[in-house]
Structure 1
Amino acid sequence: MPTLPNRMPPLQSLQAFEASARHLSFSRAAEEMHLTHGAISRQVRGLEAQLGERLLARVGPRLSLTPAGRELLGRLGEPLLQLRQALQPDVPASERLELATLASFASLWLAPRLPALREALPGLQLRVETHYALSSFPPDRPRLGLRYGSGRWPGLKATALMQDRLVLLATPAALRRHGRDPAAWPASAWVRHEGTLWEDWQPQAPEPQGHRDAALVWNDAAAMVQALVATDGVGLARLSLAAGALAAKKLRLADALLAPAPMRYWLVTRPEYARHAGLKALAAQLLVMAGAWEAQWLAG
């Protein structure tokens, strides 16, 4: 357990460590604090020297938390938050709510539910940030993350939102043209998302040659679903992103198998914000909406 010496470490050293530990990156901590990579690294080294403990293990360009670093990160979050709130007492928390998520999930799952969300939470003021990389969680901003992953992120509290499904899709025209056997579908008809693997949907069946050689490959899951519709294509996708097109009959299930996706969606925040009234209300509504979506698409 890191023990503070008689002389308190500089506040900036504690902030530099907290940001570096949260991101597991000196570069991203430097960007957040508007300092250089070298300045952040020196601040952390100075803190380690003053505490007499190794807090971050450095393996090449990567960082990992030592047991002492993990404990200190857990103890620092709330005191740093209280200090910032003491210096900004007049900023209402309700005006600073943020939601960070993947652009694909924001556009095809979250956006259609925003009218219901605003009706359930009158006066909600929300900044939605979309991204591909994992977003940061600065200690001075009440932010809720909506992440797709394992649920294990150092220094953050994660609550399971929903389990997605992988589905095999085709437009009505593609089904008429190519039938329902994916082994017979030509590569020219396939639209593939590079992060969605055949073995995650059907591990017992060999991957069709057409899927491997797909004519169109996307790194964005939402764009891939939209391309399926636009090109009269076939492909694998997450059900949460395709549900709107299925409901509108622009896409059809080419197979009845709804395979659990390899990862889940999670609600994520800093532990010290877990009791924040605004974030709790927002998270509760998102859980209700996720439950309704699962009841609609996965029941039976």
Structure 2
Amino acid sequence: MKNLPPLNGLRAFEAAGRHLTFQAAAQELDVTQGAVAQQVRALEAQLGVQLFDRHSKGLTFTAAGRGYHAQVQAAFATLREATETLLPEADKVLISVTPTFASKWLIPNLPDFSERHPDIDLRIVATEKVSSFHADGIDLAVRQGNPPFGASLDAHLLFKQEIIAVAAPELVNKISPDMDALASLPRIHDAHSLWPKFLGNAPSKHDALHGLQLSQTALAIDAAISGQGVALASRFLLRKEIEAGNLVQVVPEVMTGDSDFYLLVRRDTRKRPAVAAVIEWMTQASAPHGQHPRPT
């Protein structure tokens, strides 16, 4: 045992090797970048082996470092599995999503999940902050972006990004469904600032940023439902409100986004029965026009 390196040094090395930057490893471990770099240097000094080549844009493994990282990563995975066996929480799954995704898609669909999996405690972390799988104990996360997301993560496409303009029916029932009419209506904005791109060459483009300003898409959707203007949002977030007649699509135009919505899962936890059940449910529920068959 006396020949084993310090655990903190191994943790810093394992995290830095996954991210290939000290900064990202520091964010995951909730320490300073300097602390991670120092712990890795101390580990290298104790081993008498250089594990990383340092560059201005990040890190690359040395030949020795790559092989050592694979074994250290496997050792930490074994420790996690042993702990989960000792203190099993197979019925608890922690998922990280944005507040908008939580309120406009996940929570409205939860009754179906609860009916199918009453033994699984699905815990939701709704935050605009990007949660860390390791530091925050996240099992699953919904992220908007483009693959690859990381060597240790599997990605499942949930929704293509399709932006549409919606408003309360009473706001638009007397106008023609075209871009000229849309440009004359009051607009509701969120933090994504999509109106200039959506309007394109339509009239009043120079006024594209005027209107009610809100910090979250969910708030913009709620404002549109209350008749305060036209909001832009992903089609899948609006489906239930449109089906209920609370919103209508103002124009047929659809703007394809630069990134789509993915469900991410750590490869070392994807086979846990509860995690696998959540993945299966979310991918089926997000399929085009997807409705689960009712359980028998």
* Pairwise TM-score range, normalised by the shorter structure: 0.7 to 0.9
Aligned equivalent of 1:226: 222
Distance 2:119 2:218 in 1: 29
Task: Tell me, yes or no, if structure 1 residue 43 matches structure 2 residue 39.
Answer: yes
Task: Tell me, yes or no, if structure 1 residue 197 matches structure 2 residue 194.
Answer: yes
Over 3 Å counting, the alpha-carbon distance change for 1:133 and 1:141 in structure 2 is: closer
Aligned equivalent of 2:268: 272
Aligned equivalent of 1:167: 164
Distance 2:263 2:210 in 1: 33
Task: Tell me, yes or no, if structure 1 residue 80 matches structure 2 residue 76.
Answer: yes
Comparing 269-278 and 132-141, the one that deviates more: 132-141
Identity percentage of aligned residues: 26
Aligned residues: 285
Distance 1:140 1:185 in 2: 43
Aligned ranges 1:120-269 → 2 under 5 Å: 120-138=116-134, 141=137, 143-155=139-151, 156-176=153-173, 179-185=176-182, 189-195=186-192, 197-198=194-195, 201=198, 205-206=201-202, 208-209=204-205, 212-269=208-265
Distance 1:241 1:83 in 2: 39
Contact 2:189 2:195 in 1 (8 A): no
Instruction: Report the alpha carbon displacement of residue 55 of structure 1 after superposing the two structures with TM.
Output: 5.7
State the SS of the aligned residue for 1:272: coil
Deviations 1:12-40 (A, max 9, x none): 21212333455677567556546454322
Instruction: Report the alpha carbon displacement of residue 268 of structure 1 after superposing the two structures with TM.
Output: 0.8
Please list every run of 5 or more consecutive structure 2 residues that lacks an aligned counterpart in the other structure.
none
State the AA in 2 paired with 1:167: I
Distance 1:194 1:232 in 2: 17
Distance 2:209 2:184 in 1: 6
Aligned ranges 1:45-84 → 2 under 5 Å: 45-48=41-44, 50=47, 51-54=49-52, 57-59=55-57, 64-66=58-60, 76-84=72-80
Over 3 Å counting, the alpha-carbon distance change for 1:74 and 1:245 in structure 2 is: farther
Aligned equivalent of 1:3: none
Instruction: Report the alpha carbon displacement of residue 100 of structure 1 after superposing the two structures with TM.
Output: 0.9
Contact 1:246 1:252 in 2 (8 A): yes
More helix by share: 1
Deviations 1:67-97 (A, max 9, x none): 5578876664442121133345331132442
Please list every run of 5 or more consecutive structure 1 residues that lacks an aligned counterpart in the other structure.
1-6
Please tell me the root mean square deviation across aligned C-alpha atoms, in Å: 3.4
